[in-house]
Structure 1
Amino acid sequence: MYYPLTVRDFLDRAESVYPDRVALVDEPDQPAPSLGRLTYRELAANARAQAARLDRLGVPRGGRVAVISQNSGRLLTSFFGVSGWGRILVPVNFRLSLAEIEYIVGHSGADVVYADPELKDKLDALDVRHKFVLGEDDDLFLHGTEPEEWTDPDEGATATINYTSGTTARPKGVQLTHRNLWLNATVFGLHLGVSDRDVYLHTLPMFHANGWGMPYVVTGLGGQHVVLRKVDGAEILRRIDEHGVTLMCAAPAVVSAALEAAADWDGPIPGRDRVRIVVAGAPPPTRTIERVMEELGWEFNQIYGLTETSPIVTVNRMRAEWEELPRREQAARLGRAGAPALGVRVSIDEQGEVLTSSNHNLDGYWEQPEETARVQAGNTFHTGDGGYLDDESYLVISDRKKDVIISGGENVSSIEVEDALMSHAAVREVAVIGIPDEKWGELVTALVVSGDDVTAEELIAHCRQYLAGYKCPKRIDFVDELPRTATGKLQKFKLREPFWEGHDRKVN
């Protein structure tokens, strides 16, 4: 017997098993009317009403529906109301410029675009048949009408198109199928032990790789969603306290915000010995991991993945064998990208690039067959990341291949240098890049955000305690902030630009 896997399975189970349980606590402070607290019965009814509304608009199966929004209950509903009835959801990064949004909407061929009220001015420039402001001139939902059934559900059909950040070129539309999303969510949930007792706080943007699959797995297992519209360290702690949050996913910048807020928190830190936090986006410094475990008392987990892999590739969670190790050694082990997730195969090619094969890998890039063939050459996905598998078969990401600094003929991992600098108490944030240098080819350069008085000489001397001399930064510039994407990733290309201006090549 064959039964196709579709994302609607998660909602159907929740409605059947947990109809009267609170499914969603929507963001109360938003320009659109908040959906408040909804049960799974109500959430499922809204998803069906959204599908019925799309029927009324004449959006066909396979039609694209774009949503440009901060985290919200309506965006969460769209993961099911759009894809669950055979259409394709295009979640758009709300922080993008108008030109970038125009490109994504046009390239995807969206029939419908919904935008948050704060972004209504961007709708006017879009050439789309149907444009609506969420919760204002037209809601997603058409209650009282049952949607047309998706009579031939196909797990190989595209469920979402997620556009990559496009930090160095035009963004690419990653086609993820129902099978990709279904298996990613179930494997992720299995590794993290998600259950119907979990309360999940959406600190991660839902648009980013579909919230890493959490909208699906938390729903399917009957957990509770707590929507957070804007990341704020103190607000994260407050909602953990108010709602009994047990699980979060976050980029390193969110972790830093929570740590800073905890320093001023009056009373016991919320979630101690209860919260599991899952971090990805960049390997956090060892000291940051230590602080999460000690100062917050949260269980630290790390995953590695990409939008193109739905995203889970590896998982790193505390093991019984590490329980008796000193805290710093535990943190160092948790700082690795992790072991391949169930059903995922990871290998390293001769050039040191990480390759991965799994049922989570993208179907292709939307309308870019040549790029699809390039990244899937050899029936495996080429991540573009440099790394290695250590003695325990754990993946260690040494760098983005394009971020490796070649200084004096030696390869220097910027991540390793950043980790050494972050172990100094005065360093709040750091980015290490290579800049052109006549003697060394590329000069190891650190851009540091510091909270205390410290000199470049002191930081370089500190690094010498942990790194070989050729790896230590030769230059340190102090800056007020570092540019990041909406998901907290450092935009190192922006940091490099002024140094490489006038150079034809970005290596030296």
Structure 2
Amino acid sequence: MLIRVLLTLVKAGVIRPLGPRGLSGTLAGYLQWDITLAWGYRTGAARHPHRAAIIDDDGVLTYAEVDERTSALAHAFHTGERVGLLCRNGRAFVETLTACTKIGADAVLLNTGLSAGQLAQVAREQRIDQLVADREFADVLPDVPTYFSDELDSLILNGPGTPLARRPPRGRLIVLTSGTTGAPKGAHRPEPASLAPAAALLSRIPLRYGDVISITSPLFHTWGLAAFQLSLVLGATLVLRRGFDPAQALKDAERCTAMFVVPVMLQRMLETPHRPKLRVIATSGSALPPKVTTRVLEEFGPVLYNLYGSTEVSWASIATPEEMLKEPGTAGKPPLGTRLAIVDDHGVPVAPGETGRIFVGNDMLFHGYTNGTGKESVDGLMSTGDLGYVKDGLLFVAGRDDEMIVSGGENVYPREVEDLLSTLDGVREVSVTGVPDDNFGQRLAAYVVGDESLTADRIRAHVKANLARFSVPRDVFFLDELPRNAAGKVVKRELREAPARGSGQPPAGS
């Protein structure tokens, strides 16, 4: 295993010959901060001080500048203090999180889409002592002392020049769950103990040392955070924008070698004509519709990599372009050092091809929720909360285990119907969920975003022609857009309240 990790890191250019300056800086950073963000920027400042570390809406910062600025900013926080970050993608987020690492402060990554009430609740539950926030969120901030991101330059310029403490205690990193089916929970994310987690991702995604990487997915989300952490290991230049605009993202991609996105962003970019050349487009965070997979591979080339995982397990599998060309709906295979099991309700492995619960083991399983609860584990493997099956060595995700419905005694998976409907001409986006039914216990309802040619009968006929009769949605609603959170996930609990252009409910008794 160790040899495979080393070979992967060598191939990616992470392990390479170092001069005296690079070697001493790397060692000094490790001795002070272990393998953390602080170590990454100190290493970068020694190995490539003048390389651009961040390109954002405010300009360019080099690795040396980020290292120096975060050391100055770290004095604004205190060891053991819990700092909430409510910032869009940009230097304020990166520098605050790195400064917390340098001083040993806890960091809570806040979803920019939360309401004032939700933020107040999260601030209480996570015991946040200090906030760093973009000024645009001033009207929704909880009653917590706050530095606005446009004030950080002043803190940096006026920070004391005294050295930082050597080997401060490791601060805790708290990421909120997506909250698509309930209130968001705080998840304690681990810091990598070695470069093995980076090697795991690099074993399936061919990123390289010195890449220029656009991260359009939110940094507060697990996928954006992973992209940031991995990019730092690679000594990459990060291209960050406060908001997502498909035209701007594609323009930025002209200078990039790789891009990290969530699926809905890929859908938006496919609606624009520009197709820059990229070596890697990496996506995760929600289900990738097969139709989107096929179009990206056709129009951008064999550059798409899809990671399946969760806040709790980090990653489970990664699909390569070759695998998705063969099976557009696959989640791929486990990367280096990752174990995968499909088990029944008793924890017993199911036969190949049978649907069961997905359990995963890797080096980055989370440490539990901050409320003291955790995820179910079996033999060192943790539940993803999803159902799936393995066919020809490839993983396929059937959907959330709490979203499967029983209709007339039959198990029905909304994800299967969503994937099918996404291939129908005229359908732009679709979400399928279970609703109560007096006769069958539950039934499916489809919420569709598409053109005017679509009708409820056409939707039902397409499902009836391709899936079993109990998978046909009895209710079909047409929306102008699906309700999504700031990370791009559909918030299914809000679907029934979303304004519909019209509905296609079957007549009584049908």
1:180/1:361 contact within 8 Å kept: no
CA shift for structure 1 position 122? 3.1
Rounded Cα–Cα distance in structure 2 between residues aligned with 1:411 and 1:44:
54
Q: 1:120 to 1:477 in 2, by over 3 A?
A: closer
Rounded Cα–Cα distance in structure 2 between residues aligned with 1:281 and 1:453:
30
* Amino acid aligned to 2:310: L
1:344/1:357 contact within 8 Å kept: yes
Q: What is residue 338 of structure 2 aligned with on the other side?
A: 344
Single out whichever of 419-428 and 433-442 deviates more from structure 2.
Answer: 433-442
CA shift for structure 1 position 219? 2.0
Q: What is residue 381 of structure 1 aligned with on the other side?
A: 382
- The one of 66, 70, 91 aligned to 2:109: 91
Instruction: State yes or no: 1:80 paired with 2:104.
Output: no
Report the secondary structure of 1:99's partner residue.
helix
Rounded Cα–Cα distance in structure 2 between residues aligned with 1:423 and 1:453:
15
Report the secondary structure of 1:78's partner residue.
helix
Instruction: State yes or no: 1:461 paired with 2:437.
Output: no
* Amino acid aligned to 2:134: D
Q: 1:21 to 1:452 in 2, by over 3 A?
A: same
Report the secondary structure of 1:101's partner residue.
helix
Single out whichever of 338-347 and 64-73 deviates more from structure 2.
Answer: 338-347
CA shift for structure 1 position 158? 4.5
Report the secondary structure of 1:448's partner residue.
strand
Report the secondary structure of 1:453's partner residue.
coil
- The one of 104, 107, 120 aligned to 2:125: 107
Q: 1:235 to 1:172 in 2, by over 3 A?
A: same
Instruction: State yes or no: 1:41 paired with 2:42.
Output: no
Q: What is residue 218 of structure 1 aligned with on the other side?
A: 231
C-alpha offsets along residues 387-414 of structure 1, whole Å, 9 cap, x if unaligned?
122231x321111011112222111221
1:7/1:83 contact within 8 Å kept: yes
Q: What is residue 326 of structure 1 aligned with on the other side?
A: none
Rounded Cα–Cα distance in structure 1 between residues aligned with 2:194 and 2:458:
48
Single out whichever of 169-178 and 252-261 deviates more from structure 2.
Answer: 169-178
Q: 1:220 to 1:146 in 2, by over 3 A?
A: farther
User: 1:36-75 residue pairs with structure 2 within 5 A?
Assistant: 36-54=59-77, 59-60=78-79, 62-75=80-93
1:52/1:148 contact within 8 Å kept: no
Q: What is residue 189 of structure 2 aligned with on the other side?
A: 176
* Amino acid aligned to 1:314: S
Rounded Cα–Cα distance in structure 2 between residues aligned with 1:446 and 1:168:
17
* Amino acid aligned to 1:46: R
C-alpha offsets along residues 97-121 of structure 1, whole Å, 9 cap, x if unaligned?
1111112222222222111011123
Q: What is residue 312 of structure 1 aligned with on the other side?
A: 315
Single out whichever of 132-141 and 8-17 deviates more from structure 2.
Answer: 132-141
Q: What is residue 44 of structure 2 aligned with on the other side?
A: 14
Single out whichever of 279-288 and 421-430 deviates more from structure 2.
Answer: 279-288
* Amino acid aligned to 1:389: V
- The one of 235, 242, 258 aligned to 1:229: 242
Q: What is residue 287 of structure 1 aligned with on the other side?
A: 291
Q: 1:167 to 1:490 in 2, by over 3 A?
A: closer
Report the secondary structure of 2:119's partner residue.
helix
2:181/2:491 contact within 8 Å kept: no
Q: What is residue 218 of structure 2 aligned with on the other side?
A: 205
2:73/2:152 contact within 8 Å kept: no
C-alpha offsets along residues 279-315 of structure 1, whole Å, 9 cap, x if unaligned?
2223322221111111333611110111122x22211
TM-score, structure 2 normalization:
0.83
CA shift for structure 1 position 6? 3.0
1:66/1:114 contact within 8 Å kept: yes
C-alpha offsets along residues 127-185 of structure 1, whole Å, 9 cap, x if unaligned?
x3x3111113874525663464443456xx45411111333443221112223696544
* Amino acid aligned to 2:267: S
C-alpha offsets along residues 174-225 of structure 1, whole Å, 9 cap, x if unaligned?
1122236965444324432222342111210000016242222212322111
Q: 1:146 to 1:390 in 2, by over 3 A?
A: farther
Q: 1:115 to 1:359 in 2, by over 3 A?
A: same
Q: What is residue 302 of structure 1 aligned with on the other side?
A: 306
Rounded Cα–Cα distance in structure 2 between residues aligned with 1:445 and 1:390:
28
Q: What is residue 451 of structure 2 aligned with on the other side?
A: 451
1:398/1:413 contact within 8 Å kept: yes
2:433/2:444 contact within 8 Å kept: yes
C-alpha offsets along residues 82-111 of structure 1, whole Å, 9 cap, x if unaligned?
123322221211110111111222222222
Report the secondary structure of 2:306's partner residue.
strand
Rounded Cα–Cα distance in structure 2 between residues aligned with 1:497 and 1:408:
26
CA shift for structure 1 position 256? 0.8
Rounded Cα–Cα distance in structure 2 between residues aligned with 1:292 and 1:140:
44
Rounded Cα–Cα distance in structure 1 between residues aligned with 2:199 and 2:163:
27
Report the secondary structure of 1:419's partner residue.
helix
1:158/1:178 contact within 8 Å kept: no
Rounded Cα–Cα distance in structure 2 between residues aligned with 1:481 and 1:181:
42
CA shift for structure 1 position 483? 0.9
* Amino acid aligned to 1:170: A
Rounded Cα–Cα distance in structure 1 between residues aligned with 2:395 and 2:289:
16
Q: How many residues align?
A: 457
1:6/1:153 contact within 8 Å kept: no
Rounded Cα–Cα distance in structure 2 between residues aligned with 1:196 and 1:396:
31
Q: What RMSD, in angstroms, separates the aligned Cα atoms of the two structures? A: 2.5
* Amino acid aligned to 1:426: G
C-alpha offsets along residues 343-382 of structure 1, whole Å, 9 cap, x if unaligned?
221212213221122220111222x22x12x534654322
1:86/1:150 contact within 8 Å kept: no
CA shift for structure 1 position 496? 5.0
Rounded Cα–Cα distance in structure 2 between residues aligned with 1:186 and 1:120:
40
For structure 2, the 5+ residue unaligned runs are 1-29, 346-355, 499-510
Q: 1:115 to 1:162 in 2, by over 3 A?
A: same
Q: 1:312 to 1:237 in 2, by over 3 A?
A: same
Single out whichever of 75-84 and 250-259 deviates more from structure 2.
Answer: 75-84
Rounded Cα–Cα distance in structure 2 between residues aligned with 1:387 and 1:141:
49
* Amino acid aligned to 1:141: I
1:251/1:282 contact within 8 Å kept: yes
2:387/2:397 contact within 8 Å kept: yes
Q: 1:170 to 1:290 in 2, by over 3 A?
A: closer
1:234/1:258 contact within 8 Å kept: yes
1:191/1:315 contact within 8 Å kept: yes
* Amino acid aligned to 2:478: F
Work out the percentage of aligned pairs sharing the same amino acid: 31
1:390/1:396 contact within 8 Å kept: yes
* Amino acid aligned to 1:395: L
Rounded Cα–Cα distance in structure 2 between residues aligned with 1:178 and 1:459:
46
